[in-house]
Amino acid sequence: MEINKEREMSLQQRQLVDHYFDEGQYDMGISTLNGLRDPRWLPSPFGAIPTIPFMVNVLKTLCICRQHIRQLVYLALYPPPDPSELASNEKENEIPEATKLGFKVHKEVHVPNPAATIAAQDILMEFAATNTPAGLLRGLPKYVERNSEEDVIVGEDDEDSFISKKAKCFRHSKNCWEILRDGFVKHHKEEVAQKRGRGRPRRRPGGDDEDEDGSVGYQSAVGENAWPVLQWLLAIFERDERLTIASENLQYSSVLLSQVPPPRMGSGGRWDVEGPLNVICASVSQDQERRKLCGPRLLTLLINLTNSTHMDMKMFINVTNNRLFTLPFEELEYLLDNLHESAPVKRFKLNFYCTYLSQECSIGRSVDRPRPVRRAKPVSARSKSGTSTGVSTPTLTSNPSSGASTPAVALRFPPPSTGEVARLLTAPPSPNETNPQVSILQVMEVKSHLVQTYVALQPHGWEPMFGNGEFAQVVMEAFNLRVGQGGEEAQKAADRYKKFFQARLAILKPVSS
């Protein structure tokens, strides 16, 4: 059953958790939070408001903003100690601190251990299944005006615990993508070494980690310790999407939308998805399947944002397409093949396949798309110029329907005409002197995906498309290669695609007869 209304945890509950966190007993604090976890109660965006005992007959109440979710996320991101640092002579739980008298004392700090990090990662996933997405993400950075109560911190300097002080680093971030960056949370020994001028400085969490072209490098978009937090965020976004379907009959996540910056001019739709695209590209380059799947999951969520009226469809598609073009073909294919199917996803894929073929085939283009900048893989060469060539195709008059979606979204995301699809299918690949076989194989693979995606958007599927024989002729022509073109492997691939589509046609013949 979904959650209708949640209330804040009581003061006593918050004080109990804060006590354990203040004393560095993170496992006990997390265990207590887990025992208090309930759909009716929100983990506090604020910690307890502790009362200090009588001091000169005055009772002081300090309002300390100790956001439990922020603290859990900080613990979940906390890196394990560097083995080389463990051999140092410094005490693990002490750091030097200046005093008013001018000399240094050692103040005990409660450094999280790996067990606390794992416990924090686990309870975050438990909260994602129990409480509302909006309630859980109140304490994390986003592109909306924050509640003034969340931003006011009173009397916090000397009374804050180690974890509450450190968790304030989230207040300096603009969005949740920044907190995933490599080096956002550092082990305290690394911080101490940098303050003393020792150790190698790491990249700034807000980003000055740039490639030669000035763009933020996505190899560091997700730190080694940030993958569990990314998976937690994805679980929250996906659940929020399901809740929006139930309440508004629209498939998109409003909390994810708050992670996309509003237009700079103050009007129009949102479109700047550079942060999540960095995360997507970093994900599909991973070897572990669970990490790799984060890319398709996040891209699916981004595409579904186009179901709302808050996105600039054209700008979003252009930015996303240009970024995906930089991926090695194997990673690009994995990303698109593992998207969760929805009407917007199908239209996005159709648009992307058409754009890809318009760039890779000899039908003329005015602007080169970005070249891959990462690992050396067999990616088709981009021609710097192209001449338009006439393509003889059967005359097709039918137009694809909008598919299952809202009329407004269908109009904002118009599919290409059948004639345009036919023109792209029958256009030959652009010359690739470096590796012509790879280019032809990739183009045929994309053409196959284009056909299947295009037909999937038709109201009656394959039958009307192949019934009159015109589109079938176009599809067969798409995989016709000249003798010797592309080598033996390309010829075998072309035959394989032909047999696949011929089999689909053979199934339909008895129905149409």
- Cα four-point dihedral sign 102, 103, 109, 113: positive
Between the alpha carbon of residue 405 and those of residues 221, 306, 342, 351, 413, the distances in Å are 33, 11, 9, 16, 11
Q: pLDDT tens-digit profile of 293-331?
A: 999 999 999 999 999 989 999 999 999 999 999 999 999
Q: Which of 236, 235, 253, 233 is nearest to 244 (CA)?
A: 253
Token pair belonging to 37: 């976890």
pLDDT band, residue 436 (cuts 50/70/90): low
Average predicted confidence (pLDDT) for the chain: 75
Mean predicted confidence (pLDDT) in 106-120: 83
- Per-residue pLDDT at 389: 37
| 269 pLDDT higher than 50 | yes
| 163 pLDDT higher than 80 | yes
Q: Poorest-confidence range of 201-205, 264-268, 347-351?
A: 201-205
Query: 294-304 and 274-284 helices cross at what angle (nearest 10)?
Result: 150
Query: 26-36 and 68-77 helices cross at what angle (nearest 10)?
Result: 130
Residue 87 · residue 62 · CB < 8 Å: no
- Per-residue pLDDT at 139: 82
Kind and range of the H or E run holding 336: helix 329-337
Q: Which of 260, 400, 359 is nearest to 316 (CA)?
A: 260
Between the alpha carbon of residue 153 and those of residues 65, 72, 138, the distances in Å are 6, 19, 16
Beta strand pairing call for 51-55 and 58-61: antiparallel
Please return the burial class of 129, using the count of CB atoms within 10 Å of its CB with bins 0-12, 13-18 and 19+.
exposed
What is the spatial distance between Cα 503 and Cα 472, in angstroms, rounded to a whole number? Answer: 11
pLDDT band, residue 252 (cuts 50/70/90): very high
What is the spatial distance between Cα 437 and Cα 489, in angstroms, rounded to a whole number? Answer: 8
What is the spatial distance between Cα 211 and Cα 219, in angstroms, rounded to a whole number? Answer: 10
Query: 343-360 and 294-304 helices cross at what angle (nearest 10)?
Result: 100
- Per-residue pLDDT at 1: 42
Residue 213 · residue 170 · CB < 8 Å: no
pLDDT band, residue 485 (cuts 50/70/90): confident
Please return the burial class of 198, using the count of CB atoms within 10 Å of its CB with bins 0-12, 13-18 and 19+.
exposed
pLDDT band, residue 39 (cuts 50/70/90): confident
| 56 pLDDT higher than 60 | no
Kind and range of the H or E run holding 95: strand 94-98
Between the alpha carbon of residue 410 and those of residues 194, 222, 318, 345, 349, the distances in Å are 54, 34, 18, 12, 14
Residue 442 · residue 336 · CB < 8 Å: no
Residue 172 φ/ψ region, left for φ over 0, alpha for ψ in the -120 to 50 degree band, beta for the rest: alpha
What's the pTM? 0.79
Q: Which of 392, 338, 388, 399 is nearest to 358 (CA)?
A: 388
For 58, the 3-state DSSP assignment is strand
